[in-house]
């Protein structure tokens, strides 16, 4: 599984979350997602999502709909986007 991690600053978390909920990563083929807020800055958000392949994750990040949603959601600046090959997943 490929893990996509996207971190960005938002103008207002509650406004961002409303738009996010209307455009979840599932719409782009994600198998799961997790939303995280930075403890020291709650308007910095990190979304982690799992995809079957790097190609699916890349297609999601390149979709014009995602760019439009980020703008509508009040994302400030360019998001930081990274992809990882999942090696192990353990839930306690």
Residue 82 has pLDDT above 90, yes or no: yes
pLDDT value at 84 more than 90: yes
Q: Is residue 90 part of a domain?
A: no
What distance in Å separates the CA atoms of residue 38 and residue 53, rounded to the nearest whole number?
27
Distance CA 49, CA 66 (A): 14
Residue 70 is predicted with a pLDDT of 87
- Does the residue 64 lie in any domain? yes
Q: State the Cα–Cα distance between residues 72 and 28, nearest whole angstrom.
A: 17
Q: Please give the pLDDT value at position 1.
A: 96
Q: Is 18 domain-assigned?
A: yes
Residue 91 lies in a domain: no
Instruction: Using alpha carbons, select from 59, 73, 66, 82 the residue that is nearest to residue 6.
Output: 82
Instruction: Assign residue 7 the CATH number of its domain.
Output: 3.30.70.100
Note the pLDDT tens digit of each residue in 16-27: 999 999 999 999
Q: Could you say which DSSP state residue 12 is in?
A: -
Name the residue with higher pLDDT: 67 or 90.
90
Whether 15 is covered by a domain: the verdict is: yes
For residue 92, is it within any domain? Answer: no
In tens, the pLDDT along 32-78 reads 999 999 999 999 999 999 999 999 999 999 998 888 888 899 999 99
In a domain, 43, yes or no: yes
Q: Domain of residue 77: give its range.
A: 2-85
- How many independent structural domains does the chain possess? 1
């Amino acid at each position: 599984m490929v893990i996509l991690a996207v971190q960005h600053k938002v103008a207002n978390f509650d406004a961002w979350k409303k738009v996010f909920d209307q455009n979840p990563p599932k719409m782009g083929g994600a198998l799961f997602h997790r939303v995280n807020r930075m403890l020291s800055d709650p308007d910095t958000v990190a979304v982690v999502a799992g995809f079957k392949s790097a190609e699916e994750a890349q297609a999601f990040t390149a979709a014009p709909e995602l760019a439009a949603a980020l703008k509508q959601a009040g994302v400030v600046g360019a998001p930081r986007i990274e992809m990882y090959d999942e090696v192990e997943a353990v839930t306690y």
